[in-house]
Amino acid sequence: MSRRHASPAPDEISGVDLVGIDLDGTALNGQRQMTATTRAAISLATHSGVCVIAITGRPVRECRELARLFSLDIDFVGSNGAAVWDARTGAVRRRCGFTSADTYQLVSKLRRCSNEIRLGIVGDDVCALDMGFPEDLARAWHVEPAGCVEEAVIDLQTPDPVQKVVAWHPCGRDHAISLIRQADPSAELSFSGSDFVELTAPGVHKGSALRAVAAENGGCDLGRCAAIGDMPNDIPMLQAAGVSLAMGNAHPSVFAHALYVLPTHDSDGVAAALVAIARGKENGDR
């Protein structure tokens, strides 16, 4: 597999019909802003007939906020593939995840593995964190860690699934992963730039999300899909896409799964890729 430390030319990636882009560390810069250049590139790609979808670990609530903040009218896939939210209609079209019973069982098993583990649960808007969960996530989610998540699971009065469970352990991420593997080997595990681990239901990850969205968009061939990301939780969608692109600031493990390496998130790498994809689409349609 060839890795190129430069943006691909339009003739190298012609024929892309759909592109999934990660947000943090990818479409958002180091200040967690989407530049005007990137927003213009998204508009250019969509007007060229390319379907652009944000595929992120963020919950739906934060997808709504970002769409409003940056005036985006695209689909968002939140919680690492567990929910699809349409910015045009404001509706969540699809949710998948753990049932309340499965969540309670998973949380109980993790408690038995360690009394030091700290947990959280994620839905569209319902986010609960254990007392003692690291404050950086609590601030980001505007959640006051209180009590334990078992109480929140019991209090859920909805048939909607728990989209994601998050876990943190004072001994580090690798130790948390080991405990989770003991409790539920079937859960999908991922992580991005933080010290906590994210769990989704079996088969739910960014790669399955890309496949599902492609199927919903006229059965788009995965060979005509592109994916852009920077962290290990992006690897499944890079593997699923026919054209895989890593950011120049990506986690070292990501590069092995990318056909191209783009400029960094602080150098509008996503914009460079989207412009090339749009031009390639226009050239291919002539």
Question: 99 φ, ψ to 5°?
Answer: -70, 165
List the chain residues with pLDDT less than 70. Answer: 1-12, 126, 157-158, 193, 284-286
Q: Which residues contact 41 (CB under 8 A, 6 or more apart)?
A: 268, 270, 271, 272, 274, 275, 278
Place of tokens 């005509």: 224
pLDDT of residue 149: 84
pLDDT of residue 2: 42
CA distance 214 to 148: 38
CA-only gyration radius of the chain, Å: 19
pLDDT of residue 157: 63
pLDDT of residue 7: 63
Q: What CA–CA distances, in Å, run from 114 to 36, 141, 265?
A: 46, 25, 37
pLDDT of residue 68: 96
Task: Mark residue 83 as left, alpha or beta (left: phi above 0; alpha: psi -120 to 50; beta: remaining).
Answer: beta
pLDDT of residue 148: 78
pLDDT of residue 72: 95
DSSP 72-83: --SEEEEGGGTE
Strand 164-168 vs strand 197-200: parallel, antiparallel, or unpaired? antiparallel
Q: Both tokens of residue 172?
A: 């580090």
Contact between residue 214 and residue 18 where contact means Cβ atoms under 8 Å apart? yes
pLDDT of residue 226: 96
Q: Which residues contact 150 (CB under 8 A, 6 or more apart)?
A: 104, 107, 108
CA distance 120 to 198: 9
CA distance 87 to 91: 7
Query: Which residues, in sequence order, are bridge partners of residue 55?
Result: 77
CA distance 247 to 69: 23
CA distance 138 to 128: 9
SS3 content of the chain, % helix, strand, coil (to 5): 40, 20, 40
Q: Both tokens of residue 87?
A: 């910015």
Q: Which of 203, 205, 84, 95 is nearest to 159 (CA)?
A: 95
Amino acid at 153: V
Amino acid at 11: D
Query: How many alpha carbons fall within 13 Å on the CB side of residue 5?
Result: 3
Domains with residue ranges and CATH for the chain: 4-96+205-285 (3.40.50.1000), 100-200 (3.30.1240.10)
